[in-house]
Structure 1
Amino acid sequence: MGRWGTVALTAVAAVVTACSPSAAGDVTEDETTTSATRTPRITDDSGRPPVTFDPCYDIPDDVMNAAGYDAAKKELADMPMGTYTFLGCTYRDDNKIPGTRRGYGLNILAGNVTLDEEHSNNAHIATAVSINGRRALLEVDPNRNDTCKYVVETGFGLLMLTRIYHTDYPGSAPIGEWCTGLEELANSIEPFLPT
């Protein structure tokens, strides 16, 4: 995982609130449906583009619910990093398959770093892919058991989908199962991303 991915995930663990986005502040109906007109919740001092796409507000709940994630339990986090920003949202998929998995944990981060910067940091585990015609990366690190990440290029930087597969048995799942279904989720989210 790249330096900002590590810092951002650490920040998620440190500052994730247990509230739903609807309880997080005054957001108008127009703001919840049109990310292009949203004023960013946080900004940084980097001169990078503002992160105007908020995963907790701009990914429709029905898209996440259809993918098996309970959007009513999503959690948001503010992560100003000084030289870049990540807006994050965490989801859980509690669809247990006894003896196979206990579900998934999913972090979705919108950040104002570039796909090229992400590739530079993680070239050893990154494979260039396409999500609905957009440049993207698939990152699978064999040293991070049960973790799969798709990184999709956006107009402001990138969107990272990092999923952890929770096995229902001791040990790790086979590496071939870590990413099952995550590309489909990335494809369903992509139409909502700014170009």
Structure 2
Amino acid sequence: MTVVKALRPKIFRRFSAASILALGALMAAGCSSTGVGNPVASSTAATASGSGSTAASTAGRPPFPTLTAPDLQPPKQQNQNRPDVAFDPCTWIDDDTISHLGYDPRSRKRSTDIHAEYTFLGCAFKSPDKAYTLGILSGNRTLDEGRAKFTNDSAQIQDTTIDGHAALIVRPQMPSTGCTVLLQTKVGYIGFDRIIFADHLTGPAPERCSGIVDLVRGIIPRIGDS
């Protein structure tokens, strides 16, 4: 696969195909390498520790502490006839989880949130070698709405199930735009978008969706009952 060097991670296009998912993730699982720098989750469990506020155990809230840095907090939601988004990828995914997945916790950055008639809460991460960017969008649009958006963009869509969640693996028409997974939640779906920058790798780039299901599987425990 050829990856354009000048490509910049379109972490979240606002209202187009790279907006709601432009641009993983997690569980406290150990990280292994494919030999080409591809961060993937292994089956080795690790304790996920958060830094921040007190834990809450009610539905829609994480059963663990969340991050409290002011610049990471989500915006106020303004949903119209849609449930509020509970899972916030920037404050619910702890540093240990990000590290175990092969990404740099210090690169954590709130991305363009969408909060209008529907909501997407976004966060972005980079691998230490800058070869991978990971964008995560948690929203309250339905999985069918996500499917329709990518169908309209002529993307290749594969139905699957990840740890009991209906999911779509999406390969956009342009290979350089990376690989996306949509994971169904109680209020909508979470989009995971990964882009590979081949010029930062020491070896050949892997297939663009290689390891992304393990990445998503790793973050599912941090989603909680949402």
TM-score by length of 2: 0.65
Counterpart-to-counterpart distance in 2, 1:135 and 1:188: 16
* SS of residue in 1 equivalent to 2:81: coil
1:145 paired to 2:176: yes
Identify which of 51, 55, 66 aligns with 2:89. Answer: 55
Structure 2 match to 1:89: 123
Identify which of 125, 135, 151 aligns with 1:107. Answer: 135
Counterpart-to-counterpart distance in 1, 2:85 and 2:121: 7
Identify which of 166, 175, 182 aligns with 1:135. Answer: 166
* SS of residue in 2 equivalent to 1:74: strand
Over residues 101-140 of structure 1, what are the superposed CA-to-partner deviations in whole Å (9 max), with x where a residue is unaligned? x510111010110101111221342211111121000000
Aligned pair count? 171
Counterpart-to-counterpart distance in 1, 2:16 and 2:86: 18
Aligned residue type for 2:164:
G
1:37 offset after TM fit, Å?
3.6
Q: Deviating runs (4+, > 6 A) in structure 1?
A: none
Counterpart-to-counterpart distance in 1, 2:114 and 2:59: 19
- Identical amino acids, percent of aligned pairs: 29
Cα 1:56–1:129, aligned 2, differ >3 Å: closer, same or farther?
A: same
CA contact (8 A) 1:51 1:156 kept: yes
Structure 2 match to 1:98: none
1:62 offset after TM fit, Å?
1.4
Cα 1:41–1:52, aligned 2, differ >3 Å: closer, same or farther?
A: farther
Identify which of 143, 147, 150 aligns with 1:122. Answer: 150
Identify which of 31, 42, 53 aligns with 1:28. Answer: 53
1:192 paired to 2:222: yes
CA contact (8 A) 1:111 1:158 kept: yes
Aligned residue type for 2:100:
A
User: Over the residues paired in the alignment, what is the CA RMSD in angstroms?
Assistant: 3.1
**Runs (5+) with no aligned partner, structure 1:** 13-21, 96-101
* SS of residue in 1 equivalent to 2:179: strand
**Runs (5+) with no aligned partner, structure 2:** 1-12, 24-50, 63-72
Counterpart-to-counterpart distance in 2, 1:5 and 1:119: 11
Greater helix content:
1
